[in-house]
Amino acid sequence: MNLPIPTTNKPPYELVDFASIPPVACPCGQARRGLAEVEDYPGTIHVTEISVNAKLHYHRRLTETYYFLECGPDAQMQLNDEIRAVQPGTCIMIRPGTRHRALGKMKVLIVVYPKFDPEDEWFD
């Protein structure tokens, strides 16, 4: 069965140059958030430079997936009461309601679904 190919007047792709996106402060450090303004993309992609002591926080609606690009040998993630070692190439999917923070300095690619909303950052 051949399905019709959807047509649109939009370009066939979106190109993001993270170096051109100004960083914004976040509980983890500094984030560059891409694809936030693209209506037909259901999430956002962040490149985040994490400071040594990120703030413990959680999201009620957002699911975040961290892919560790760069980090030292002592890098860790706190996930609720559990501490997990991470290294470049490690990936962690964090469900809504999970209190989390990075421990150590690192650079992380974060995929967020649905689109990132700063109103959905909660602290105890």
pLDDT at 7 over 90: no
pLDDT in tens, 61-103: 999 999 999 999 999 999 999 999 999 999 999 999 999 999 9
pTM over 0.85: yes
Phi, psi angles (nearest 5°) of residue 69: -85, -50
pLDDT of residue 6: 72
pLDDT in tens, 107-116: 999 999 999 9
Burial class (CB in 10 A: 0-12, 13-18, 19+), 1: exposed
Cα separation, 72 vs 122, whole angstroms: 27
